[in-house]
Amino acid sequence: MPYLWNFSPSTVLERWFPRALAAAFAVLALWMITGRQASAQEDGWKLCNKTSYIINAAVARPEGQAVVVEGWTKLRPGACELALPAPLSPGVHFIYGESSDAHRGGGRDWGGDRELCVDPTGSFSVESPPDCAGFGLDGRNFRPVLIERRNGWQTTFTETNQYSFDQAEAAGVQRLLEDAGVFSGRVDGLLGRETRAAIRTFLSSQGLAADTSDADLIDFLEQSAIERARDVGFTLCNRTEYPIWGAIARMRGDDWESRGWWRLEAGGCARAIDSPLNQRQYFVYGEMEQPDGRVRTLKRAGEGFCVSRAKFAISGRDDCEAAAYRTAMFTEAATPEDQKLVFEFFERDFDRARDAPEG
């Protein structure tokens, strides 16, 4: 049932310190959550975040024969925000979410298979055209949502761990502390002694007050993590006019690992590795989509690694076909400098178009 979610103004430390002492407090908090859900007011399409990630969300609504897409709504872990005010138009709407650039480990998204256009550079409201790139927009895959009531509806983002709202907020703080390089413990939604000490360390290092609100703490951590991420890692960029699917390969432990896919819109970039690059050899693969459905692959690519049709992380580079993968020819990237590397795909780097590979 749709509802409005209200958090108390207490800080993370104030709220979680007593709960860390006894499991009964966590059970009581869950009961209180259910009670507030039932008594809340309805005032539009509300998006809620029960994950440990900051999510930037976009929604789409039918308007006549067109679809209007609006974004971005920032959802802090454990929080809800209004995406569309009432009255709503009952029927099929669409939703998409992606994790903040602050988070390490590659971007995560929540979506489906309906491609609609978004503006990745900032807030927007557009009537989605048939050709996103032609209008300077990027395509994203949205998921349909059937809204059945005019006065209110709610959609909640979740992840594998089934967090309550309070646990999601706590896990989000832990993840951001790790992303910012302050904390390296478990992301479990329980703010124990180590996590609370890391929060105090971060607040002190930034000259922030000990009673900084939860929302402000998350915002400051996000900015710190984004600034840290800019200084290291491996970024893929598309300098062509067509979409490119990119993949990378490197040594992981005692064996090679290939990983993909990153969809790079025309002129866009994606971070493939967001930690310091400590090796000398990195390899890259790319498939450029053509309007007729064919693809172009890289010239002068002579190193074989395994790839899959869906997103993948594959250990080893031998006998790809025997493991139901296919072998693709990668090219070696430049040696990283200062623990970072940017690889740019140019049209001159690609061979002539051919049918899309299978598998």
Per-residue pLDDT reduced to its tens digit, 32-88: 222 223 224 568 999 999 999 999 999 999 998 899 999 999 999 999 999 999 999
Angle at Cα 230 formed by Cα 181 and Cα 172, nearest 5°?
Answer: 45
Share of the chain above pLDDT 90, in %: 60
Does residue 294 contact residue 281 with C-beta atoms inside 8 Å?
Answer: no
Backbone phi, then psi, for 197, in 5-degree steps?
-65, -40
pLDDT of residue 270: 85
Looking at the DSSP bridge assignments, the partners of residue 67 are: 62
Instruction: Supply the pLDDT for residue 273.
Output: 85
Domain with CATH 2.60.40 in the chain: 233-349
pLDDT tens track for 244-271? 999 999 998 889 999 999 999 888 888 8
CATH fold for the domain made of 233-349:
Immunoglobulin-like (2.60.40)
- Rounded Cα distance between 178 and 53, Å, is 12
Say if CB 247 and CB 328 are below 8 A apart. yes
Listed residue (144, 149, 25, 143) closest to 90, CA to CA: 149
Q: How far apart are CA 237 and CA 76, in angstroms?
A: 28
Burial class from Cβ neighbours inside 10 Å (0-12, 13-18, 19+) for residue 220 reads middle
> Residue 223: which H helix or E strand, with range?
helix 214-229
Are residues 202 and 228 in contact, defined by beta-carbon separation less than 8 angstroms?
Answer: no
pLDDT digits (tens, 9 = 90+) for 170-229: 999 999 999 898 988 889 999 889 999 999 999 999 999 999 999 999 999 999 988 877
Instruction: For residue 359, count other CB atoms closer than 10 A to its CB.
Output: 11
| Helix (H) / strand (E) containing 195 | helix 193-205
What was the pLDDT predicted at 334? 93
3-state helix, strand, coil in the chain (%, to 5): 20, 35, 40
Q: Which helix (H) or strand (E) holds 244?
A: strand 244-252
| Residue 106 pLDDT | 67
Exposure of 62 in the CB half-sphere (CA atoms within 13 A)? 11
Residue 359 clears pLDDT 80, i.e. is over it: no
pLDDT given at position 37: 33
**How many residues in total does the chain contain?**
359
CA angle in degrees (0–180, nearest 5) for 48-51-53: 105
pTM of the model: 0.65
Amino acid found at 189: G
Residue 54 CA, distance from chain mean position: 8
Determine the average pLDDT of the residues in 321-340.
Answer: 92
> Residue 27: is its pLDDT beyond 60?
no
To which residue do tokens 């040696």 refer? 335
pLDDT-derived band at 358, boundaries 50, 70, 90: low
Q: Are 276 and 231 in contact (CB under 8 A)?
A: no
Alpha helices for the chain (secondary structure H): 12-19, 23-39, 165-179, 193-205, 214-229
Angle between helices 193-205 and 165-179 (to 10 degrees): 60
Nearest to 15 by CA among 310, 213, 218: 213
Of 294, 293, 172, 270, residue with least CA distance to 225: 172
CA–CA separation, 222 and 194 (whole Å): 20
Helices (H) then strands (E): counts for the chain: 5, 20
User: 302, 329 in Cβ contact below 8 A?
Assistant: yes
Q: Which amino acid is at 26?
A: A
The first and second tokens of residue 193, run together, are: 């002694």
